[in-house]
Structure 1
Amino acid sequence: MIRFEESLRQSAERDPERVALVCRGERTSYAELAGEVERCAAQLVAEAGFARGERCVLFLENRLETAVGLFGTLRAGGVFSVINPTTKADKLAYILNNCEASVLVTQASLLAVARAALAEAPGVRRLIVVDAESAADAIGWTAFMAGQAPLLAAAPRGIDIDLAMLVYTSGSTGRPKGVMMTHRNVLFAATSVSSYLQMRGEDVVLSVLPLSFDYGLYQLLMCVLRGATLVLEKSFAFPQKILPMLASEGVTGFPLVPTMAALIVQLRNFDPAWAAGVRFVTNTAAALPPAHIARLQSLFGQARLYSMYGQTESKRCTWLPPEQLARRPDSVGIAIPGTEVWVADDEGRAVGANVVGELVVRGGHVMLGYWRDAEATDRALRPGRYPGERVLHTGDLFRMDEEGYCYFVGRKDDILKSRGEKVSPKEIENVLYAMEGVREAAVVGIPDELLGHALKAILVPAEGVQLEAREVIAHCQGRLEDFMVPRLIEFRASLPKTATGKIRRAGLQAEAEGRGSADEEA
């Protein structure tokens, strides 16, 4: 097994002139990307005193420097974490302190947030800004990369069981948890997923998904592993700009989430020429409605459509072979190659066909654990079938049919999935309670075909206070990532509570899903 950054070197040696990345109109070959990564790694060590195992946080949008920074961090022997660019200062500060970051890389448009976070994170030694000149507390990327540090020795700075990345995901406590993935985890997951997608060096993948989202991050990692080209765009906000690129860039792979699919199937002027060369289309985050599946199959007539299910803690869990779509459109499929999944009862024992239980995952893609959170790790990783091993208990309820195909039923805990991201109701509630005039707050998820869950805040105003929905949304927009801002606001005179005075969030969630009354015991 190799460390993952070695896959970049191998792809560069195999086909140095092939385009590795197309971003913001700039085309970067594998030889150029590998060279930039080597310079970045050398400068991290020389200029930032970066030691093996240290953490570098990349607070950036989708751009070339994000790719260079994460591979440069790995090459320097470190651990990277890509953070959503809509993250606010208090949460960024928490992450910087939690992972004990040494270096923060950001961009000019995010510099104010970064500086506010750094004021509360004194352990960060170096701030690097990728698109600005050096400032009193920062060094510009151009100056940083222009340093005269000698390149590192050819041998990797570590081994494959070293930590490679931390992916921060929402936790039930309201604080994000750092999912620890080793080089071996990353290589296993990228190899397994790219194998059933039948990816090859000639592929061109168009991704509008943020690199802070593991589905988006793995588009880069899998392309580098296979020596393919990634066309990296900032977002899908303007489909009429993005979709023609399918043809102009010769795209063969197109990863989607349901909200993107909904926009595509509603277009009246979709040009069949755009999709003519696309070989595979993938979807995760939530199941696609059958009508959208049929329309996508019509629009992308030459492509295989893959429905998948995954968790940050294991990247991908299941995939549905495209030939099964017509027969099982609501299934998320079977275990990805080289892994096992089963449905278990509360004691971890496998249950029979079509019995609802918790999905359990076994394989080389299962995380090492949560960073500095042994209690949460022990809840998620439990003894497996063989002495000494631990398997992932996903917290998701599933059933499995007689042929081994899996069907998502719901969540066991309070965590919601919205727009493909894990969302902690408690984290949003903490922000709502900080708003003047809010006495009680609860956040629930309304089932939504496209979003998975549409977030709804149920509020009890303080006596004599008149709150407006738009004021609540604006308050949240100023303090939460975009995907965590509630879309729906409801005001009530009171919220249902237990005998001990706790808000019945589970009952409110059941009510939101049409499963009963919030006042029932839950």
Structure 2
Amino acid sequence: MTDATPLLHDFLLHSARRLPDKVALVCGEQRLTYAELEQRSNALANALVRRGVARGDRVIVFAENTAEAAISFWAVLKANAVVVMVNPQTRADKLAYYLNDCRAVALISEERLASEFLPAMARSRHLRAAVIAGALPPPLVDGGVPLTGWQEALAAEVSSAPPARRCLDVDLAAIIYTSGSTGDPKGVMLTHRNMLTAATSISTYLRMVEDDVVLNVLPLAFDYGLYQLILTVRMGARLVLERSFAYPAKVLAKLVEEGVTGFPGVPTVFSILAEMKGLWSQDFSQLRFVTNTAAALPLKHIHMLRELFPSSRIYSMYGLTECKRCTYLPPEDLERKPTSVGIPIPNTEAWVVDEDGQRLGPGQVGQLVVRGATVMRGYWEKPEATAERLKPGPLPGEFVLYTGDLCRMDEEGYVYFVARMDDIIKSRGEKVAPKEVEATLTNIPGVKESAVIGVPDPTLGQAIKAFVVLEQGISLTEKELQRECLRSLEPFAVPRTIQFVSSLPKTSTGKIKKTDLS
């Protein structure tokens, strides 16, 4: 096959040819040019092939946000394999589940995660090779999967060319596992075409350019974080990779130092920023765009971002792993439609249906359906779960994604997220959307963040319970918050009980983990 076959890693190939000496990746003290990123990923790809990785095999990358993780992502694709990025906070039991579920033949990880990957490897039935950055730990099982050091693997490959191309753009490029809050995690299958289309669409509406510098604090195992790597490489831009947002002052200093122009975040990141006004005096004038997903931003955070980053375009976005991105709100519409998650992304269609699959009109609440080339191939070896999400579309032979999210659209086609279908609380015979209650609570001055759940109640069926984190130095009572809620919500939607907590449990991607609340 030739370079004309559109594959995801062509983004790196083309940028390396065009801009070999430009810095592509900044990670701690490391600064890799496009030529170095290309050469090292070629070497690792060849090392994987020599260890038996073949077209369509799955390879797990279990690592922090490091240069090695970024190199590994491109290397697995170049080896004609399927990359599975796994969060470094994953424990051994779940890692073993991933290894066996996708039948991974190779693992790429790092020394400091040995306490998790060694016991997981010992339970794998398909693993044949492992490449480890850092010092090699002693294996738990004699005669088990051989461990190869990172430097050893790369140094042994003298060829600067990647392995021969074997894939088509309809072949799988990645499997991204969902969080698995209900039941076992499901592997979302994404083809090269899925990811090429998504990257092209997103970089287009973000108006990204070659001169962009994007700072990423989100895990590369989170598709939102992973796409920062893909988008910057597509444009020939630069990615500044941070391990987390645990040290906000350090991250903001890096933002200024590197001349960052793009800053992707999630609501938890922005709620931290809102409390750190002592850091706001720095010059952020070079920042051109800020993006948010995972949940709609509260109005007060929108105002905060406008004050903190006055030169930036602010994008509110909504999506699912199953199709990467559904909608985005053009920055010029933020003022007139602040609670909307926007319009379908380029080259995508969306509409709302009732329980019978019939399209609904403006203002009516139903399940959002997405059509386009970003829609997943399905869930890895889970045909029943796939059939619940992928259903026949308007054209014969095609399938569209039923998102499982309740939304409504206005007369102009702008989407408003209402709730996950399985999140709806039924109280006093009425249906209550937790997101609406949470938005009301979080917009009350002094409230940092909130989460709302339904709890069993013999009279109401479900009672509404809220968990609230207050801003530092603020004192509010349950009755004061309930009184404020009554200004915006129907009486049946006002939380019956409010529990004040110091923090909310979260997933590694910053989403509130409601399964840990009761």
TM-score of the pair, normalised by structure 2: 0.81
SS at match of 2:322: coil
Q: How big is the shift at 1:133?
A: 3.5
> Aligned equivalents of 1:22 and 1:71: distance in 2?
16
- Name the structure 2 match of 1:463: none
- Name the structure 2 match of 1:343: 352
Q: How big is the shift at 1:485?
A: 6.4
Deviations along 1:126-154, one digit per CA (max 9) or x if unpaired, are 12211224745421111111114645567
Contact 1:172 1:414 survives alignment (8 Å): no
- 2:354 aligned with 1:325, yes or no? no
- 2:2 aligned with 1:2, yes or no? no
1:221 to 204, 219, 230: 230
- Of 258-267 and 355-364, the range deviating more from structure 2: 258-267
Equivalent positions of 1:96-495 (< 5 A) are 96-133=99-136, 135-136=138-139, 137-148=146-157, 150=159, 155-171=164-180, 173-413=182-422, 447=438, 449=442, 453=451, 490=518
- Name the structure 2 match of 1:56: 59
Q: Unmatched 5+ residue regions in structure 2?
A: 140-145, 426-433, 443-447, 457-504
SS at match of 1:313: coil
> Aligned equivalents of 1:209 and 1:481: distance in 2?
7
Q: How big is the shift at 1:373?
A: 0.6
SS at match of 2:152: helix
Aligned Cα root-mean-square deviation (Å): 2.6
> Aligned equivalents of 1:88 and 1:143: distance in 2?
27
Q: How big is the shift at 1:203?
A: 0.3
SS at match of 2:278: coil
Q: How big is the shift at 1:349?
A: 1.8
> Aligned equivalents of 1:366 and 1:487: distance in 2?
27
- Name the structure 2 match of 1:33: 37
- 2:90 aligned with 1:81, yes or no? no
> Aligned equivalents of 1:258 and 1:407: distance in 2?
17
> Aligned equivalents of 2:217 and 2:276: distance in 1?
18
The one-letter amino acid of 1:105's match is: I
Count of paired positions: 444
- Name the structure 1 match of 2:17: 13
SS at match of 2:240: strand
SS at match of 2:279: coil
Measured at CA, do residues 453 and 179 of structure 1 come closer, stay the same or move farther in structure 2, by a change above 3 Å? Answer: farther
> Aligned equivalents of 2:450 and 2:101: distance in 1?
29
Measured at CA, do residues 372 and 87 of structure 1 come closer, stay the same or move farther in structure 2, by a change above 3 Å? Answer: same
Contact 1:21 1:28 survives alignment (8 Å): yes
Contact 1:86 1:481 survives alignment (8 Å): no
Deviations along 1:212-270, one digit per CA (max 9) or x if unpaired, are 11100000011111111000000001101100111110100000111111111222223
Measured at CA, do residues 144 and 4 of structure 1 come closer, stay the same or move farther in structure 2, by a change above 3 Å? Answer: same
Q: How big is the shift at 1:347?
A: 2.1
- Name the structure 2 match of 1:472: none
The sequence identity of aligned pairs, in percent, is 48
Q: How big is the shift at 1:209?
A: 0.3
The one-letter amino acid of 1:83's match is: V
> Aligned equivalents of 1:13 and 1:276: distance in 2?
31
> Aligned equivalents of 1:103 and 1:396: distance in 2?
35
Q: How big is the shift at 1:174?
A: 1.1
The one-letter amino acid of 1:38's match is: N
Measured at CA, do residues 483 and 311 of structure 1 come closer, stay the same or move farther in structure 2, by a change above 3 Å? Answer: closer
> Aligned equivalents of 1:261 and 1:115: distance in 2?
36
> Aligned equivalents of 1:100 and 1:128: distance in 2?
17
Q: How big is the shift at 1:155?
A: 4.9
Deviations along 1:456-488, one digit per CA (max 9) or x if unpaired, are 999xxxxxxxxxxxxxxxxxx9x9999686696
> Aligned equivalents of 2:517 and 2:347: distance in 1?
44
> Aligned equivalents of 1:455 and 1:144: distance in 2?
49
- Of 272-281 and 174-183, the range deviating more from structure 2: 272-281
Deviations along 1:9-32, one digit per CA (max 9) or x if unpaired, are 100111111111000211000011
Measured at CA, do residues 451 and 66 of structure 1 come closer, stay the same or move farther in structure 2, by a change above 3 Å? Answer: farther
> Aligned equivalents of 1:400 and 1:485: distance in 2?
27
